[in-house]
Structure 1
Amino acid sequence: MARNVEAYSALRELPVDFLAGFCLACAERGSGVFTALARPADSEWFSYALDTAWKVPTGQFDEDDLIEILEEFETNIGAMDADDPGSKRFSITQSAVLAVNAIAVYMNPNPARAEMSGQTLETILGSFDFKLGGSSVTVIRAGEDEAVGHLQQLEQDAQNSFIESVRALIRDQEGSSLGEDFLENLRESCAPIRDEIRAAAESVAELADWYQE
């Protein structure tokens, strides 16, 4: 599975505030996985966690709320047995990790932790691409580039677009930190891919009989 290594390398060059923005965008796009597959009660928690994560960079949060989100994650979602990357539980757990990690990266900016969000979502989407493609293994010959599926390519393109938008802000001297307008536009831009990912997750669930679990 070919990873978006150039984007992850670029994270180390961005102002640290934008690392949280990268993670928030991954979480928003990946939220389609959680809402498609999780129980309604867990989806309610996730929506609250994700909305709170988007408020953190603007200072609209209470530390007690963040602690509650982390505790809820550890107790309910994080406690799932989700070792199989091709399982429903893995997809649910890892999509929840994206929201939690966005909060963690804002509180303690770290390029490696930000990269984890991108890698996590690529893993989920690569698995979906594999299942939707008939679960057939493609042999890569020496010298050939490893194929990237449709969903994973969408994610890589979105990550690259984020990197370029931040570089443009810096180049035009329009800001070096996350602002409310930037965040609002960023979240809105994630919606089409989020919705496509959700539809793909529903298709995968039907193919794998996950709705019977």
Structure 2
Amino acid sequence: MARNVEAYSALRELPADFLAVFCLASAERGSGVFAALAQSADKEWFSYALDIAWRAPLGEVDEDDLIEILEEFENRTESIDADDPGSKGFSIVQSAMLAVNAIAVYMNPNPARAEMSGQTLETVLGSFDFKLGGSAVTMTRAGEDEEVGHLQQLEQDGQNSFLDSVRSLVRDQGGSGLDRNFLEGLRDSCTPVRDEIRAATESVAELVGWDQE
């Protein structure tokens, strides 16, 4: 599974306050997974946590509220069987964890921790591409690039687009340029991919029988 290594390397050169925003964009796109798979009560709480995470970079949330979300996430997910990477529970927890990781990176900016968001969603979407492709193993000859499935490519494209927009802001404004307009525009731009991921997740659930669980 070919990863977006150039994008992850570029995170080390981003202004620190954009690291959490990189995570937020992945979390928004990936929220299509838990929206399709989670139980109603969990789904509502995960969405609430994501909304809070988007408000954090604007200074609209107290740190105590963020810590409470981190603790509540542990309580919410401890009863979900997420040990098997091929399971429904794994996909739910990993996609919901993206919002939690965005909060953690906001509180303690770290490029390696930010990379974890992208890597996590690539893993989940790559497994969906594999299932939707009939679970057929594709052999890659030496010197050839590994194929990237459609869903995983959507995430990589989203990451690359985000990095391009940040570079433009820094170049044109000479500062971070992180404000409400940027965040709202970024979140809106994630919506089509989020919806496509949700539809694909529903197809995976039907294909492998998760919709019967």
Range into which the TM-score falls when normalised by the shorter chain:
over 0.9
Deviations 1:125-157 (A, max 9, x none): 000000000110001111111000000011101
User: How many Å separate the matches in 2 of 1:178 and 1:82?
Assistant: 35
User: How many Å separate the matches in 2 of 1:197 and 1:119?
Assistant: 16
Question: Which AA in structure 2 matches 1:207?
Answer: L
Give the percent of matched residue pairs that are identical in Structure 1 and Structure 2: 79
User: How many Å separate the matches in 2 of 1:164 and 1:79?
Assistant: 40
User: How many Å separate the matches in 2 of 1:24 and 1:175?
Assistant: 20
Q: Which residue of 1 aligns with 2:196?
A: 196
The 8 Å contact of residues 170 and 177 in structure 2, kept in 1 or not, is answered as no
Residue 107, structure 1, aligned to residue 107, structure 2: yes
Q: TM-score normalised to the size of structure 2? A: 0.97
Q: Which residue of 1 aligns with 2:122?
A: 122
2:173 is paired with a residue of what secondary structure?
coil
User: How many Å separate the matches in 2 of 1:158 and 1:176?
Assistant: 19
Q: How much has 1:189 moved relative to structure 2?
A: 0.3
The 8 Å contact of residues 29 and 197 in structure 1, kept in 2 or not, is answered as yes
- Map 1:1-213; keep pairs closer than 5 Å: 1-173=1-173, 175-213=175-213
**Matched positions, count:** 213
Deviations 1:52-77 (A, max 9, x none): 00000011113332222112210121
1:172 is paired with a residue of what secondary structure?
helix
User: How many Å separate the matches in 2 of 1:202 and 1:64?
Assistant: 35
Q: Which runs of 4+ in 1 moved over 6 A?
A: none
Deviations 1:69-124 (A, max 9, x none): 11221012145331221110110000111000000001100000000000000000
RMSD, aligned α-carbons? 1.1
What are the ranges of 5 or more consecutive residues in structure 2 without an aligned counterpart? none
The 8 Å contact of residues 27 and 99 in structure 2, kept in 1 or not, is answered as yes
The 8 Å contact of residues 25 and 190 in structure 2, kept in 1 or not, is answered as yes
Q: TM-score normalised to the size of structure 1? A: 0.97
User: How many Å separate the matches in 2 of 1:13 and 1:78?
Assistant: 35
